[in-house]
Chain A
């Protein structure tokens, strides 16, 4: 009896998923309000890689192995005169599961010269030699950024936030 009930419920769950995918609403860009986003961002600002020193802040979640993030970073450096004098760019390293980039991110966070390491991995032609990082502090930063990203609803890379609002 139990076996039969389980059998039906299995199909019912499958049907539910199929139906829910049919009526799926478009992916929400931002799960929380801009005010809360700004507050959360403040908690991870110290862990960001900072480019430029302009009056306006821009926060970008990137994955070092994401091609689009790499293109975006390249563009930022290409237009550095126009951008870095007017904006302060905060780069947050946030892994995309498909890219399996945790090792790269930990290496960058752990590095003494984060920006150089970031550029080596994302913009360099040669593959960078990576170390196995077992530092708790580094892992903590990685997790902290991931948690904030999840709460905000960071669903793609690069994910850009200005004044608490996501693109």
Chain B
């Protein structure tokens, strides 16, 4: 199975890269942009066919290493 992990700064934690991209979009004339957040995506190939197990493993990986939960939130999608 494949775990697709998306990691973003928490709401309320200023995302300076998102802000810079937002300014750039504004100055390029893209109207109506309310907010831009930049995160990262990590794709993990797992040697299991058990969706529940895959999700539990990916969650442990996020909590241990992949995300810093002081400043970041993450989502996991299992395919």
Task: Report if A and B associate in a common complex.
Answer: no
Give chain B's interface residues, CB within 8 Å of chain A. Answer: none
